Amino acid sequence: MKFRNLFMAFGMSLLLAAALSAQPGRGSSSGERPSPIAGLTAEQHGKIQEIKLATRKEALPLQTKLQALESELKLAITSDSFDESKVKSLVAEMGKIKVDLRMRRILSDQAVRALLTEEQRKGFDMNLLSKRGHNPRGKRGPGKHGPKGRGPAPRPPAENAAGE
């Protein structure tokens, strides 16, 4: 009897796993997210993918340069002989690259938006407006779950009740 119950539980867990992996948007091996734009035609989808690919290709050398500058900045900041002018120039160059990357993203969004019908544009705009600030590393910062999202937030030190 125990073997039969164990076999049934195993079979049910396999069915549950199969049902969960068959849900749309889950278990996709392509790594591509479903489009937030409803009702895209195959032609629109293809053109949007071309725009995204071109934008990513243009951004890649800039992102690589930005990472190199970030490393150089860390070395300059931690150097025994701090050079303020060098640090300022690195920060300024990093700022220019960030502006360039942001503008490329905005222009890409505008190119996608131009392909859409009025109804699709409404959904696209709502999605764009509802996005929160971009955080590439996924760090949360302090909050309900503390710094970096691990455990409870630390409590501030309690003041001494004696008034010292």
Nearest to 18 by CA among 8, 7, 26: 26
Residue 139's φ and ψ, nearest 5 degrees, are -80, 145
Per-domain residue ranges of the chain: 42-120
Euclidean distance between CA atoms 31 and 25, whole angstroms: 10
CATH number of 42-120: 1.20.120.1490
Extract long-range pairs of 54-61: CB within 8 Å, 24+ residues apart. Answer: 54/108, 55/104, 55/105, 55/108, 58/104, 59/101, 59/104, 59/105
Per-residue pLDDT tens over the stretch 95-147: 999 999 999 999 999 999 999 999 999 989 988 888 765 555 555 555 555 55
Average per-residue pLDDT for the chain: 78
